[in-house]
């Protein structure tokens, strides 16, 4: 029985499994993945599984866009379907964020993302159930998908939080949802669940080798972005481990030192999750 491994991966969610796969693709096959429960039993199974590209920073957009191509071609690449469902994604902002949205869309187009700024009339054609206003602006990603969820700010431990839903939050969310989708006023609440955001100070992950501890690499703190970026995070981290640097996408902006060197990533919007 072997007592050593080339790499030991802690955590069997989408990140750990993606890293295991990509290490093998790069020739590192003598590896071990550790998971205290069953695969995908943590944040992965409670993810919204939303696949969108809209971010304020190019590195995040690139990770999401290239990952989408993997989800779309998962059967060919991995051998089974990912469950990717193309629904489209519409971002709606107030006039005060119109310029920020336009700057983001310009950056997305430069990266190659299929995205456009559209009119209120176009929104009504694409999604006639939505209520829109003249003082709003809209960006549309036709290839994005999949689920929608809500959340609240609460600091909890990873093993002792309420994994159900709080009814006051449900009531407030349903009231807000009905304003945007009037037909939801007559909808019934059937149930839900809670998951965790592991948040860094700038709402971006840390993808890096740790200075002073030889052989230690971290991919942590995904701040709500993780699932959609997991194929490329697994690949870029595998490249960092095997080749010494990521080459498919430059992830140096997501290093651990940025927090002590004043290089935190910023959002163009007031909402940090769109950073």
Mean pLDDT throughout 96-104? 95
In a domain, 228, yes or no: no
Per DSSP, the residues of 141-182 read ETT-B------------TTSS--S--HHHHHHHHHHHHHHSG
Range from 69-83, 108-122, 183-197 carrying the lowest mean pLDDT: 183-197
Reading the block at residue 149, the tokens are 């969820």
Other C-beta atoms lying within 10 Å of the C-beta of residue 21: 16
pLDDT band with cut points at 50, 70 and 90 for residue 47:
confident
Mean pLDDT throughout 126-134? 95
Per DSSP, the residues of 53-111 read ---SSHHHHHHHHHHHHHHHTHHHHHSS--------EEEEEEGGGHHHHHHHHHHHHHH
In a domain, 102, yes or no: no
- Amino acid 151: pLDDT: 58
Count of domains for the chain: 1
β-strand partners of 118 = 138
- Is the pLDDT confidence value at 1 over 70? no
Phi/psi for 10 (5° steps) reads -100, 115
More confident residue, 194 or 51: 51
More confident residue, 116 or 225: 116
- Amino acid 164: pLDDT: 85
Range from 29-38, 161-170, 234-243 carrying the lowest mean pLDDT: 161-170
Q: What mean pLDDT, rounded, does the chain reach?
A: 92
In a domain, 47, yes or no: no
Give pLDDT tens digits for 225-235.
899 999 999 99
pLDDT band with cut points at 50, 70 and 90 for residue 18:
very high
CA distances from 36 to 20, 157, 237 (A): 16, 16, 22
Domain of residue 184: give its range.
Answer: 162-195
In a domain, 170, yes or no: yes
Mean pLDDT throughout 28-40? 94
Tell me the torsion sign for CA atoms 58, 63, 68, 73: positive
In a domain, 250, yes or no: no
| Short-list 9, 60, 18, CA closest to 274 | 60
- Is the pLDDT confidence value at 181 over 70? yes
pLDDT band with cut points at 50, 70 and 90 for residue 152:
low
- Cα–Cα distance between 207 and 62 in angstroms, integer? 15
In a domain, 187, yes or no: yes
- Amino acid 267: pLDDT: 92
In a domain, 41, yes or no: no
Strand 31-34 versus strand 7-10 pairing type: parallel
Instruction: Assess contact for 192 and 148: CB atoms under 8 A.
Output: no
- Cα–Cα distance between 20 and 265 in angstroms, integer? 28
- Is the pLDDT confidence value at 22 over 80? yes
- Amino acid 192: pLDDT: 85
More confident residue, 35 or 46: 35
Mean pLDDT throughout 188-210? 90
In a domain, 52, yes or no: no
Q: What is the DSSP letter of 4?
A: -
- Cα–Cα distance between 109 and 31 in angstroms, integer? 38
| Three-class SS of 205-242 | CEEEECCCCCCCEEEECCCCCHHHHHHHHHHHHHHHHH
């Amino acid at each position: 029985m072997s007592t050593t491994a080339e790499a030991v991966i802690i955590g069997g969610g989408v990140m750990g499994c993606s890293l295991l796969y990509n290490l093998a693709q790069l020739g590192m096959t003598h590896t071990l993945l550790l998971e205290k429960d069953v695969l995908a039993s943590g944040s992965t199974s409670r993810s919204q599984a939303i696949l969108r590209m809209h971010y304020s920073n190019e590195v995040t957009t690139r990770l999401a866009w290239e990952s989408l191509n993997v989800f779309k071609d998962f059967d060919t690449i991995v051998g089974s379907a990912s469950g990717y469902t193309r629904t489209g994604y519409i971002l709606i902002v107030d006039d005060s964020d119109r310029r920020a949205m336009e700057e983001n869309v310009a950056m997305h187009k430069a990266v190659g993302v299929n995205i456009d700024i559209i009119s209120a009339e176009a929104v009504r054609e694409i999604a006639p159930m939505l209520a829109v206003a003249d003082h709003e602006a809209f960006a549309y990603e036709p290839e994005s998908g999949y689920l929608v969820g809500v959340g609240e700010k609460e600091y909890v431990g990873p093993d002792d939080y309420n994994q159900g839903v709080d009814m006051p939050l449900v009531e407030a969310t349903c009231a807000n949802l009905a304003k945007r989708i009037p037909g939801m006023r007559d909808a019934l609440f059937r149930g839900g669940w809670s998951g965790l955001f592991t948040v860094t100070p700038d709402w971006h992950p840390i993808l890096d080798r740790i200075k002073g501890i030889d052989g230690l690499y971290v991919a942590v703190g995904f701040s709500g972005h993780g699932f959609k970026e997991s194929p490329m995070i697994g690949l870029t981290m595998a490249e960092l481990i095997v080749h010494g640097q990521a080459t498919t996408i430059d992830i140096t902006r997501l290093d651990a030192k940025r927090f002590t060197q004043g290089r935190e990533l910023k959002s163009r919007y007031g909402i940090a999750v769109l950073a």
